[in-house]
Amino acid sequence: MPAPAGSVIYLPRGSRHTFRNAGTTPSRHWVLTNPSGFDEFYRGAAEIFAGGGAPDVQKLGALAAKHGYEFLQR
């Protein structure tokens, strides 16, 4: 589902989802979660992606598992 700038998307807990920037300019998104703690996942992911290039998928998978998330194949 395309979500133009300024859109609000609600996902119930446990929803499988994905997101991507389909444009050519950098994008940002704002995530509100309950309960708290998702910021710790983002902090760890930022460290994994900081090196540039392709991320270490094993480290990313371990980080996701630590926080109770999983990456699904498309």
pLDDT of res. 19: 81
Residues 6+ apart with CB under 8 A from 59: 48
pTM given for the model = 0.68
Phi-psi label, residue 38: left if phi above 0, alpha if psi -120 to 50, beta otherwise: alpha
Give CA–CA dist 33/42, Å, rounded: 12
pLDDT of res. 30: 84
pLDDT of res. 53: 86
Tens digit of pLDDT for each residue in 11-51?
898 888 888 888 898 888 888 888 888 889 989 999 999 98
Percentages of the chain per state (helix, strand, coil), in multiples of 5: 30, 0, 70
